[in-house]
Structure 1
Amino acid sequence: MRQPIISHVRSILKASSEVSKRLMRDGKYSGSGATKRIFKRYIWGRHPWIVLSVGIFAAILGMHVYVYPTVARYIADDIVQIGMMTQVNTDPAPSVHTSDKTIPMMHQSKRYRDSWTTRLDAKPGLTTEQKLQRLALLVAAVIIWEITRHLMATHLFFATARLTQEATFHMRNHIHEKLHQLSQPYHDAHSPGRLLTHLFSDMQAMTHCFTMLMRHIPNGFAGIIAGTIITFTIDWRLALLVMCALPAYGIAYKYFSTQMRNVNRDIRERQGRLAGHIANRISLFHVTKAFSREIRETLILARTTKPLLQRQVVSGMLNTCLAATCGIIAGTTTTMVMWISAQKCLDGSMTAGELLMFHGTAANMFQPITMIINEVAVMQRLETVCAKIVRVMDEPIAIDDPNDPLNVPDSACEIRFDHLSFQYPNTPSPAIDDLDITIPAGAKVCIMGPSGSGKSTLAKLVARFYDPTEGRILVNEQNLKRFKLTDLRNLIRYVHQEPVVFSGTIGDNIRYGSEDADQQTVVKSAQNVLIHDFISTLPAKYRSLTHERGLTLSGGQKQRVNLARALVSDPHVLVLDDCTSALDADTEAKLIDNLGNVLSDRTALLVSHRVSVALSCDMVLMLDAGKMVQMGEPDQLIKQPGPFRELYEQQLARAQHAQEGTDAA
């Protein structure tokens, strides 16, 4: 039974090692000094004096473990004075009395010159009253130290909490800002679940790790240094024995740290994929219910989480094995020290107080070493998390403002596609292929074509969510890249084909298009898209809550809210990506007629599959496989053989057939 388990663990370690190498090769965890960069920027750079006080207090608290061994030595040798020979006016030395002789309890033999016990030989004996006075002073000193220690520990706790929480606050804001600055291709390649992992899970892990390290690392190193000094001062020979255990610690650290680093990288990578999977399935829960796939989704989740669970167990096993190995080394060394020091005490080369102090110091020396060893897993996890965060921070912004931006036009614009081509990454063919057309200022152009013909891609290129692979997009003969992004987005409003409604009120959703819009402007925009009458029927009207994802609104109502949001800022160019698909024919016809007046002095690009929309436009652009196959006025295209005429006849036949069915019913 044990052999299969060992083989399974080895296979997991091997797989994690391969994953770690792949991630390093892909550059996902290759950020050198990621932890140092984050610490310097968000912790040390903001509050250096607090960090310094944390380090000093943690170091002082790290030496606390040697206080009571020192107290024990002082009590044994300077107060109780075990082994002190009887002197005049002192309490008699401890001895055993028989009928014919007195036997001293401590055999007085010659001591080594380098031992602290030579100081005992030169000390005069103390009366009981003097001993009690010294004991009282010692107790008072220990009480004062305990009060001071707990005050320092309180400061240490609050200081580290403040440092890490403020660092998390600023870093989360910077990551959130950076994610908004990154272009559409980056978001296409990363699921929302993974991005949320950076903002929450990774931040929480980083906060915990930095807190533990700032408290434990100075504490541990100060304990090791102080313990080394004390042991070498008491008996350098025994101290060398204690030091012999350190290479064994180093070997154990080297082996286990490498394995834990690989496993932790694998764990974080799988956690990111799992978060993306869960976010995707929860957002589409209605599809799961519609097809009764609840049990299937549960099984898929179990299969996805099982490898993650196995690696988390292996990570815990590695950490436990490292701690156990260190514990065995510490226990063996401490036992050897006790044995040798007891022999020294018996032959008089070491006092009882020195034995207590050396053994207590040697035993407590392994506590800070074990503390640092236990922080190895924390450091490996922190390195992994910081590398992921730094990777997002260092991600280049593909679409950014120009160095010398131009002022945007203040009226309807001419748009020209100058041999425009665009190809998505890792795709065999271009989505837009050498498109060379001009859209006059103030014209309404309907972009049509079969699915996958490049309609939505062209709309996103105009809004500059992507940059062309080849060619240019010119606005009034100026390259689109010459405008500042915020000015460009105010000039060109884009309405996505999938309606987006934020949690909040309907009024806030419309006002999202322009923060300066007053209530009258919001109402006018709603009237232009024929949703004002519906809003007026609601009890709270424009203050009615939409809840998350607009659950209280229908699909058509969401689309009209999106249209109102785009119109509220009065843009000069409007790009509508099939944003009336959820409307019925009558509502769409009324909306198109109403938009005709609204768009009279604007340049508009309308992506649609419906001929009824095309007939209301000035021009129609037919695409197929990213290429223009037809362009012209809709009335003229109907008369010419081609894809637009075929589409017109198909939709007309379907409409006539539906009307005949209605009449028959």
Structure 2
Amino acid sequence: MKALKYLNKYLWKYKWYLILGTIFTIISNLFGILPAQLVRYALDLVIETLDVYYLFNDLALQSKMYDIFAFSILLYGLLILAMALLKGIFLFLVRQTIIVMSRHIEYALKNDIYSHYQTLPTSFFRQHNTGDLMARISEDVSNVRMYVGPALMYGINLVVLFFLVISYMVSVNAKLTLYVLLPLPILSVSVYVVNQMIMKRSQAIQKQLSELSTYVQEAFSGIRVIKSFVQEKHSFQNFEIEAEDFKKKSLKLTKVDAFFYPIILLLIGLSNILIIYVGGKEIINGNLTPGNITEFILYVNMLTWPVMALGWTTSQIQRAASSQLRINEFLEAKNTLTSDKNIMMELQGAIRFAHVSFVYPDSGITALHDFDLDIRAGESVAILGTTGSGKSTLANLLGRLYDPTQGEILIDGTPLKDLEVHAYRRQLGYVPQDVFLFSDSIENNVRFGTNDMPFERIERAVKDADLLNNIEDFPKGFQTVLGERGITLSGGQKQRLSIARAIARDPKILILDDCLSAVDTNTENIILNNLKRIMDSRTSVIISHRVSSAKLADRIVMLDDGHIIEQGTHDQLLAINGAYKELYEKQLMAEEA
């Protein structure tokens, strides 16, 4: 139950649902217990009256006795029916409080988890796959809801009913009650042993479910690649393996759950035998009536369903504990990209990398080594280099998706770590290498991150990204809804839309991370000419492996293995006759070919 302590704050928040649900449970159980006493009175009345009734055989008094007797039995029957109706009404109220409370808690917990996910750094999402993240916010939260809803409801019902029934039984005959309760220690031991097995197998199931979800999500995301390589059959076979593993683990848990039902039936049957045997002796000794024995049997059978539900409830609690443990694991993950000073200021755009080194925490790869670079406010700098030279790492560090392992980054002379993260990022325009578009309209994708952007600015940004003609060709224009991850558009169109999204924000610092790799040379020239005008008034960092994208920058920096090997203007670097010139000539020959 340690893992489930996290839910106490939600139970406190919705305490009135829980309090009222408990009160309604007590009342409904009272109306469930009283009919057993009415049955005892009715049965004793029948037994006591029957002999007297036959004594007045063939007499007029016998019919009057019959009328009184029949009326009494009818009255008892109507009272039992009324009790059943009242119990049903209060059971409805129980579900309208405790089950409704569980839905509120489920809603609040999902919101808290999703909100927490949003605060976590990029490194967290590199270390955990999407399927696992989704499983914890869906399947695991559903398991937790079963604990704070049905499991809690049945648990409260069991405790209340057990207390009320045992109290009544003791008041009737303590000796018979003791015999009835003899099987309970065996039940307790059985529940403990089986629970340990349930806990282990539940954790294995949840882990396997995460792996299955991850595989399915990955397969659907890469469905075009699967079809292109004709791997549908192979993909299905892999899915079958994962699903088979999940099935086997679920069946193992089902086998353990199956122990509860026969064990409880056996113990309930044993209790009934003890009632009849011991109760029969008490009747012979004159201590009890047949009505008492019937009442006891009804009480034991009243306990049958709650005690049977004990197995299910225990199983749900164990599953919830296992799921909450997994949820807590992520909720305890902290965001390291915070600011103590939370300085909020309007940026001018001066950037300085001071002895920056960076090692990716998940892979241990060193991307930058003692990196130094000064960028003046309003200056445009192009970062060129081969794959793995550290170009995109610079973009990640500038967006503060990571913090440097060593050294620091200063913006307008202020350490980046001291700036309020969200206020800083709002003044950035970032076009990532891996373009991501949302399943929304083109207009909303450009407007993303702002609420009051005028349409004229959206249209201008799209025109600067050389995408306006393409959008106008769509039947719905700017209201065209994109498919998942922008699948409706071509690769080049997605990159251009991503550029439009960045420049529409009118950012102080513009970061372009290899954003023209999927467009043709003619489109590239149009976009670069438009960008040159846009970049005149702002600090721009252009990351690319293409020389053509770098020529419009005020300064070009050549990277290799996380180090600066050359920097200067296009003409200066050609004169050096080094790595830049070699790259330039190779790409020039490729274009000519």
With structure 2 as the length reference, what TM-score do the two structures score? 0.94
SS at match of 1:549: helix
Tell me if 1:242 matches 2:204.
Answer: no
Question: 2: distance between equivalents of 1:308 and 1:408?
Answer: 53
Structure 2 unmatched runs, 5+ = 58-63
Preserved CA contact (<8 Å) 1:213 1:375:
yes
Aligned to 1:409: 346
Letter paired with 2:53: D
Residue 407 (structure 1) shift: 2.9
Is the Cα contact below 8 Å between 1:217 and 1:372 reproduced in 2?
Answer: yes
- Matched with 1:474 is 410
Question: Structure 1 residue 91 and structure 2 residue 53: aligned?
Answer: yes
CA distance in 2 between partners of 1:166 and 1:513 (Å): 29
Question: What are the Cα deviations for residues 331-357 of structure 1, in whole angstroms up to 9, with x where unaligned?
Answer: 223223223323433454431111211
Conserved? CA contact 1:83–1:351, under 8 Å:
no
The alignment status of 1:225 with 2:187, answered yes or no, reads: no
What is aligned with 2:60?
Answer: none
Contact 2:127/2:362, CA 8 A, preserved across alignment: no
Aligned partner of 1:316 in structure 2 is 254
Any idea what SS the aligned residue of 2:426 has? helix
- In structure 1, how many angstroms separate the alpha carbons of the residues matched to 2:203 and 2:421? 37
* Structure 2 partner of 1:176: 114
Aligned positions of 1:111-510 closer than 5 A:
127-346=65-284, 348-400=286-338, 402-411=339-348, 413-510=349-446
Amino acid in structure 1 at the alignment position of 2:373: I
The count of corresponding residues between Structure 1 and Structure 2 is 587
Aligned position for 2:37: 70
Residue 36 of structure 1 is matched in structure 2 by 5
Q: How far is 1:572 from its partner?
A: 0.8
SS in 2 for 1:582: coil
Cα deviation, 1:511-551, whole Å, max 9, x if unaligned, reads 11432211111111111111112222323221222233222
Equivalent pair of 2:344/2:424 in contact (CA under 8 Å): no
Residues 261 and 381, structure 1, Cα contact 8 Å, conserved in 2: yes
Q: Which one of the candidate residues 507, 519, 530 is aligned to 2:466?
A: 530
State the secondary structure of the residue aligned to 1:91: helix
Contact 2:443 2:478 in 1 (8 A): yes
> What amino acid maps onto 1:557 in structure 2?
Q
Identity over aligned pairs, percent: 25
Offset of 1:217 from its aligned partner? 0.9
Tell me the distance in 2 between the aligned counterparts of 1:396 and 1:293. 40
Distance in 1, matches of 2:39 and 2:398, equals 80
How far apart are the structure 1 equivalents of 2:450 and 2:295?
74
Query: Distance in 2 between the 1:290 and 1:429 partners?
Result: 32
* Matched position secondary structure for 2:366: coil
| Preserved CA contact (<8 Å) 1:615 1:635 | no
CA distance in 1, matches of 2:360, 2:537: 34
Distance 1:271 1:93, change over 3 A: farther
- 1:66–1:361 CA contact under 8 A, matched in 2: yes
Q: In the alignment, which of 500, 507, 512 is matched to residue 576 of structure 1?
A: 512
Change (3 A) 1:94 1:157: farther
Distance 2:152 2:287 in 1: 41
Note the C-alpha offset of 1:167.
1.8
1:592 aligns with 2:592: no
How far the C-alpha of 1:612 sits from its partner, in A, is 0.8
Q: Give the 3-state SS of the residue equivalent to 2:452 in structure 1.
A: coil
Distance in 2 of aligned mates of 1:228 and 1:160: 25
Gaps spanning 5+ residues in structure 1: where? 1-31, 96-125, 659-665
- Indicate which of 20, 30, 48 corresponds to 2:15: 48
Tell which deviates more after alignment, 295-304 or 51-60.
51-60
Query: Equivalents in 1 of 2:34, 2:387: separation in Å?
Result: 78
User: What amino acid sits opposite 1:75 in the alignment?
Assistant: A
| Distance in 2 of aligned mates of 1:226 and 1:310 | 42
Once residues 593 and 92 of structure 1 are traced to their aligned partners in structure 2, the CA distance between those partners, rounded to angstroms, is: 115
RMSD of aligned C-alpha atoms? 2.1
Distance 1:294 1:397 in 2: 39
**Given the superposition, is the C-alpha separation of residues 85 and 305 from structure 1 closer, same or farther in structure 2, using an over 3 Å criterion?**
closer
Q: Show CA shifts across 1:10-57 (max 9, x none).
A: xxxxxxxxxxxxxxxxxxxxxx7332322x322x33332221111122
Code of the aligned partner of 2:3: A
Q: Which AA in structure 2 matches 1:404? A: K
The one-letter amino acid paired with 1:34 is: A
Contact 1:404 1:482 in 2 (8 A): yes
What is the DSSP-based 3-state SS (H/G/I as helix, E as strand, rest coil) of the residue aligned with 2:53?
coil
Q: What SS class does the counterpart of residue 616 from structure 1 fall into?
A: coil
Q: Secondary structure at the match of 1:504?
A: coil
Give the drift of 1:243.
1.8
Partner Cα separation in structure 2 for residue 548 and residue 296 of structure 1? 24
- Corresponding letter in the other structure for 1:192: T
Code of the aligned partner of 2:530: N
Letter in 1 for 2:410: L
The higher radius of gyration belongs to: 1
Is residue 510–residue 539 contact of structure 2 (8 Å, CA) maintained in 1? yes
Inter-partner Cα distance in structure 2 for 1:503 and 1:207:
30
1:548-583 superposed Cα distances (whole Å, 9 cap, x missing partner): 322221111111111111111100101111111110
Given residue 212 of structure 1, which amino acid in structure 2 is its aligned partner?
P
* 2:585 equivalent in structure 1: 649
Aligned partner letter, 1:226: L
Give the Å deviation of 1:202: 2.2
Instruction: Give the distance between the partners of 1:339 and 1:570, measured in 2 at CA.
Output: 89
Distance in 2, Cα, partners of 1:60 & 1:380: 29
- 1:641 & 1:41 partners in 2: Cα distance? 67
Contact 2:382-2:543 within 8 A present in 1 as well: yes
| CA distance 1:202–1:255, shift in 2 (3 Å) | same
Change over 3 Å in CA distance of 1:405–1:651 after alignment to 2: same
From the superposition, tell whether residues 94 and 33 of structure 1 become closer, same or farther in structure 2 (CA, over 3 Å): farther
CA distance in 2, matches of 1:56, 1:184: 48
* 1:622 and 2:558 are equivalent in the alignment: yes
* Cα 1:518–1:145 shift into 2, 3 Å: same
TM-score, with structure 1 as normaliser = 0.84
Q: Which residue of 2 aligns with 1:555?
A: 491
Q: 1:84 to 1:189 in 2, by over 3 A?
A: same
Q: What is the match of residue 14 of structure 1?
A: none
2:439·2:486 contact (CA, 8 Å) conserved in 1? Answer: yes
Cα deviation, 1:140-195, whole Å, max 9, x if unaligned, reads 32233222212112212222332122222222222221111111011111112222
| Cα distance between partner residues in 2 of 1:577 and 1:628 | 18
